Structure 1
Amino acid sequence: MTNGKSAQAPARLADAIAAPDNFPSLGTRLPRRIWLPLLLLLVASIPWRRGAYFSGGLDTVVIAKAALTVVAASLALPNGALPRRAVPAAPFVLLGLYLTISAFGAWMYGDLIPTLALVMRVGLAAVVVYCLLSSFDTAGVLMGLARGMLVVGGFAAVTGLPTLSSGRLSGGLPPIAPNEIAILCGVPFIVLFWRAVYVGRSRLDVLLLVALAVTVYATASRTGIALLVAATLLALIRARHLRAIVVVMAAASAPLLAYVFAYTDVFAGFLDRGGTGNTATLNSRTIAWTAAAELAQDWLQHLFGAGMSRKIIAVTGQYWSTQTLDSTWVSTLVQAGYLGLVLLVGLIVYGARGVAFVPGPLSVLLAVLLFFSVGRSILESGMMDASSGFLTFFVLVTAAGAVRLQRNRLTTSRGDRL
């Protein structure tokens, strides 16, 4: 008969993979092979020119972005000095099918050359994710991603402070949109907030949390702010034990928030941002979504889409003639068709299933970040593109599967030995 303590040993050893104490702090020194490729990918993924989309021509910006992506992939390649970790194949198979379908649709109905360029950049980003998760622990990769986003988003926000006079904080260098700053600063906020609740905090963490919260609020990104608040509440709800300081701060902020919502016009003004003429409202988004649903010419285009380079759609009956596809789901329908939508759902389901089997508080972090990423995709595009949103999403999906796979293998091997 197996001893009870011996039977429980594999589970305890496997749970150690996701122990919060193993999660690095902001000041922990990470290997350069973690943070440098991620930083280069983030720099290459954000827009360098406002309102410009790649249409197939070569210029300095296009060449520089391609070069940064190739360098990032080269730096992330395993060198044999570190033991290999198990990484699931499913996310890469689903992504590979998605990219193939989009390229086929571009060949038939769109611009093949710009789509192939985007396919290669997304594919190289996936290679970087595989190499990092196969060489380093999940916690280190997540913190490396958070640090990279903090650097890029923080620099863009600081250099864009003069844009506050227009009512919204945009990037200065590079000139990225407010919504992009919201995700670049939102992800490190969630990581630091989770660590403060589940692991520990420092004065630097608290200062950065305040600075990141103020920055996201200054962008006036309604989707980003709403999801950040919801993600924070989700992290608190999932906590089994809250630190006293967290309880005190939550209790103290509740009356203040109630007063702001009930007795001031801050909330109403925030919802009405930009006035009735703003074409980024939900109403104008639905106009573009309707046009996107009617774009396909035949059943093959319904299935395969028109390629990843299709980001602007013509609209009729309005005072504007074209509009961007402000939703990952609508963009996927246009760029990769119904088959692409099925694969996107498959990636999300795979990531959510992996999160459900991740042990300990790390599952909370992955769940909250996945909620933030997928929630943003409803009203903002980019989760299946060469963007910071895709990099975040794919790291989360693959990391959740990797932790689950590593845990199962460790449990099985230890159980066999016992």
Structure 2
Amino acid sequence: MNGTVSKLAAPQAGGRGGPPAGGTPIRRARLRPLPAPSQRLHRRPRQEPRHVLDVTLLCDMQIFSAMASAKEGNGAPTKRSRLHDLYEQQGLSPWYDNLCRPVTDLLPLIASGVRGVTSNPTIFQKAISSSSAYDDQFKQLISAGKDAENAYWELVIKDIQDACKLFEPIYNETDGADGYVSVEVSPRLANDTQGTVEAAKWLHKVVNRPNVYIKIPATAECVPSIREVISNGISVNVTLIFSIARYEAVIDAYLDGLEASGLSDLSRVTSVASFFVSRVDSLIDKMLEKIGTPEALALRGKAAVAQAKLANQLYQKKFSGPRWEALAKKGAKKQRLLWASTGVKNPAYPDTLYVDSLIGPDTVNTMPDQALHAFIDHGTVSRTVDANVSEAEGVYSALEKLGINWDEVGKQLELEGVDSFKKSFDSLLVSLEEKGNTLKTANV
């Protein structure tokens, strides 16, 4: 199996403000269960057997039927939630950080105010390995001669296409400003500049939906990829951003790409920059505990939000002035900050910490299940992302004085993030290969 670029046969396209002071009780979410969200190309695509196409058509019919039922108000009425208020009052788009079959289980979430979806290799590894919903299509793909990796991509692409259909009304209503579904290039390409470009172009072509974001990691090798992909008119979700320095490089890649595109109308080329939050606290808290001084311990749980607020200040600076204004005249849209990794990992912290603390206009927060439930239950809808910025600057500087190197923190978290996604991807491919071999043996 190629360790860099997969030679794929193309499918037929179709808590708030910081940790509580000593002893303050924390409200936890009363969790109500949501419906279970039950590279290059060198070969010509093979013609799919009729039965594979029939299953695809049947799934499409089921999606449109479910969407029609939801639109007509069939089933239990959906009440407004805090997610609606986030968007309507504060301009923050709440997204859902999960995707699996059946994608129609997203409809109640959309009705509750979710406006987009993100996915990653770990999400798909969990979805495909823990659900039988993929079995029929997988069996058909293996019968049609697909190997495990080709089958994986066809399973993923089908989910992404179906989810894009569900969010297309939001995309249309906002003139392409919202309603996106994100799919990531192979994590094996995290250090391959040109391989990432080719994989992004391929994914964009085969998904063939206006509201798809191609996710590209913000590694040093992939920052040039972001520029080239944007210059080709492809919308990008830049993922795994852990430091302000790397974030600035990502913004510059977006602006460079827009300028290099040569397009007279830039309104359909958009991007989000996924700035990871909770993992920053997880790592820096350990470093502070190792230092062990009262000053260090008092800064636990404050690093991530402080850095995120300073990232927002950089956003305001970079998307203003003559350079940006020239692009805006051609219809360019700002690369929104997307707060990612917003599930609280330390039970001592408020469970809405990374949502409540980063609310502001033209931002996105993609939430895993627990964070989403918690915010709907008891989140606070109030503009906070640009509040107490001087305090955030003080926290950032205090951590530096204690010996915390922000760039080194970012590099370590990036390496860990890439490695985690690679392991999930490789583990799933091994499982699919074993499953495929079993099916082939059974059919002999």
Structure (1/2) with the larger helix percentage:
1
* TM-score over 0.5 (shorter chain): no
Structure (1/2) with the larger strand percentage:
2
Higher relative contact order (CA 8 A, sep 6+): 1
TM-score when scaled to structure 2?
Answer: 0.29
TM-score when scaled to structure 1?
Answer: 0.31
